[in-house]
Amino acid sequence: MSKCTACGFENDSTRVFCQNCGERLVQTEGGPAPVAPHRYTDPSARPAAPQGGLLLLISGLFKELIRVALPAAIAAGLVQMLRVPNDIPAVVAVRAPSASMLAADIQTAVESPYPRSLDISQEAANNFLSARIEGAAPGRESWRATFSRSYVVIHAGNLTFGIEQKIKNYPVYLQLKLEPRSSAEGATLEPVGGSIGRLPVPQFLLPFFKRPFEPVLTSIAGQLRWFEKADKFTFVKEMATVSWPANSSPETP
């Protein structure tokens, strides 16, 4: 006999459910194994998938990527900034007489009543810059760095104007890439790129990047006016050709 634990009714030992109240009977040891009740399962009632699980996974991976990659990118950028760019001209002793002769040749071409062109080598241009800027702007500071020298590197089709500065005696190079532009008003050199060491400067930052060059350019403002009158610039490797139109009103030297 099986006694119902719910109502106390004595049921036959073969029964699974109480004959009196219908409660499932608890079989005593040695009796028949209880039969599991049938449960109806609605196929449409499936557990809902966790909401946002994929988004959480992607977000976690992205955060981990930022945590690992950002410091590495910053370190790589700093290394590139401290690297010496290609084709930097060597530092040589200033030849003041050669610089004066080049200045006289440029002034003659500018004031000529006939169209004139002048070839200027990279070596002569750098000697001229050293003679004029080194004495004109000693100790100038930019970006908390001490001015050391300026230089040009002449490539085919463009010109690089650079500044070497030192931070605790370590050289850092700022460079502007200039390309010639011609119009009815004359010729100009337009900034089209820049770099710190070997790290390129994004295009949208060029207007701000030009500021460290302003003290140096100000120190040779008089000489730059000669080139503002030019009507054409031509660049080949290590050589620049500057052309001026005829001057109808020569200036007094």
pLDDT digits (tens, 9 = 90+) for 176-214: 999 999 888 889 999 999 999 999 999 888 888 888 888
| pLDDT value, residue 134 | 53
| Amino acid at residue number 97 | P
Q: Could you tell me if 180 and 234 are in contact, meaning their C-beta atoms sit under 8 angstroms apart?
A: yes
Would you say residue 216 has pLDDT above 90?
Answer: no
Phi and psi dihedrals of 206, rounded to 5? -55, -40
At residue 223, φ and ψ (nearest 5 deg) are -70, -35
- Name 77's Cβ contacts closer than 8 Å, sequence gap at least 6: 199
d(CA 31, CA 250): 127
Q: Hey, is 81 helix, strand or coil? A: helix
232 falls in which pLDDT band (50, 70, 90)? very high
As a whole number, mean pLDDT of residues 63-90 equals 81
CB 142 within 8 A of CB 153: no
Give backbone dihedrals phi and psi of 162, rounded to 5 degrees, phi first.
-125, 160
Is the predicted pLDDT of residue 153 greater than 70, yes or no? yes
Band of residue 248 on the pLDDT scale cut at 50, 70, 90: confident
Helix 96-111 to helix 221-228 angle (10° resolution) is 40
Concatenated DSSP letters of 103-172:
HHHHHHHHH-SS-EEEEEEHHHHHHHHHHHHHHHSTT-EETTEEEEEEEEEEETTEEEEEEEEEETTEEE
Residue 57 has pLDDT above 80, yes or no: no
Q: What is the pLDDT of residue 170?
A: 86
Max mean pLDDT range (33-47, 134-148, 162-176): 162-176
Is the pLDDT at 43 greater than 80? The verdict is no
Given a cut of 60, is residue 143 above it in pLDDT? Answer: no
> What is the spatial distance between Cα 35 and Cα 27, in angstroms, rounded to a whole number?
10
Q: Which of 1-15, 17-31, 50-64, 227-241 has the highest mean predicted lDDT (pLDDT)? A: 227-241
How many C-beta atoms lie closer than 10 Å to residue 61's C-beta? 10
Q: Is the pLDDT of residue 90 over 60?
A: yes
Res. 118: pLDDT tops 60: yes
Higher pLDDT, 245 or 134: 245
pLDDT, tens digit (0-9, with 9 covering 90-100), for 4-24: 777 877 777 777 777 777 777
